[in-house]
Amino acid sequence: MKLITLNTWGGRAGKEKLLNFFKKNKKIDIFCLQEIWSAPYNHLEGTNAGGSPIDNSQIMVYGMQEISKTLPGYSSIFHPHHLDNYGLQMLIKKELIIKKKGDLFVYREKGFVPTGDVGFHARNIQYVTLGTKKGDVTIINFHGLWNGKGKADSKDRINQSKKILEFVKSLKNEFILCGDFNLLPNTKSLDILEKEGMKNLIKEFNISSTRTLLYNKPNKHADYIFVSKGIKINEFNVLLDEVSDHSPLFLDFRIF
């Protein structure tokens, strides 16, 4: 199976550019997307979110619907983490068997509304368990905590990783954990996951950056894919498409 994970940046790099990226990648089985909107938050116009003011004119405020329309052969699954209209989206090819789906909050709780910068909102993981001939596999989509203090460890980030670990330990099948973790490579928050036997493909493949030229800050790591021991990697690449300030990560895999 083939998977792409991408922080879409809310479509700020250009709506048509982003939608064309999906059109040319219709052989992908699973998309795991972050920073997806399903409706505008007009009351938050001009409010800081992640250090920058929200400008609905620059965002794909109906991105969930527009991406779903672009990929009609896929089942769209949306789980917000801030209010009802902003969060995570997965698109799964309709011929794949979805056995279970859901989400779990790993920072704060569902419905939490932060004071000050909206970027301090709650965080969840979104998951889908697929049935295959070789056994079930759970795909986990994640957008990790932003705290306005860079991508180093914090108590909240470490607790976030521990909650993710609790979830993956509850699984009885192979899994893939992917997304924008908002973390640097040598953090305890990532080490917590690696010590449990998860393979960090960014480290395994010596990836030096997961950001595009649209990102002009230092520290070019943010996005990761972790796989369990029974996942065989056929191919792993950081794609060159500049459809966001994050690079798309591509994984071709099978179950042993």
Q: What is the spatial distance between Cα 205 and Cα 101, in angstroms, rounded to a whole number?
A: 30
What is the distance between the terminal CA atoms of the chain, rounded to a whole angstrom?
A: 12
Task: Please name the residues in contact with 74: beta carbons below 8 A apart, sequence gap of 6 or more.
Answer: 31, 68, 91, 92, 93, 94
Q: What is the spatial distance between Cα 151 and Cα 180, in angstroms, rounded to a whole number?
A: 11
pLDDT value of residue 13: 98
Q: Rounded to whole angstroms, what are the CA distances from 42 to 47, 55, 59, 198, 202?
A: 10, 9, 12, 41, 37
Other beta carbons within 10 angstroms of residue 228's beta carbon come to 19
| Model confidence pLDDT, tens digit, residues 222-231 | 999 999 999 9
Question: Around 92, how many Cα atoms within 13 Å sit in the side-chain half-sphere?
Answer: 23
pLDDT value of residue 83: 96
Q: Over the chain, what is the mean pLDDT?
A: 97
Question: Quick check: 209 and 220 in contact, CB under 8 A?
Answer: yes
3-state secondary structure 219-247: CCCCEEEEECCCEEEEEEEECCCCCCCEC
- CA dihedral in degrees (37, 40, 41, 46; nearest 10)? 100
| Amino acid sitting at position 235 | E
Angle between helices 63-70 and 15-23 (to 10 degrees): 30
What's the full length of the chain, in residues?
A: 256
| Model confidence pLDDT, tens digit, residues 127-160 | 999 999 999 999 999 999 999 999 999 999 999 9
Q: What is the spatial distance between Cα 202 and Cα 89, in angstroms, rounded to a whole number?
A: 22
Q: Which domains does the chain have, with CATH numbers?
A: 2-255 (3.60.10.10)
| Model confidence pLDDT, tens digit, residues 184-223 | 999 999 999 999 999 999 999 999 999 999 999 999 999 9
pTM: 0.98
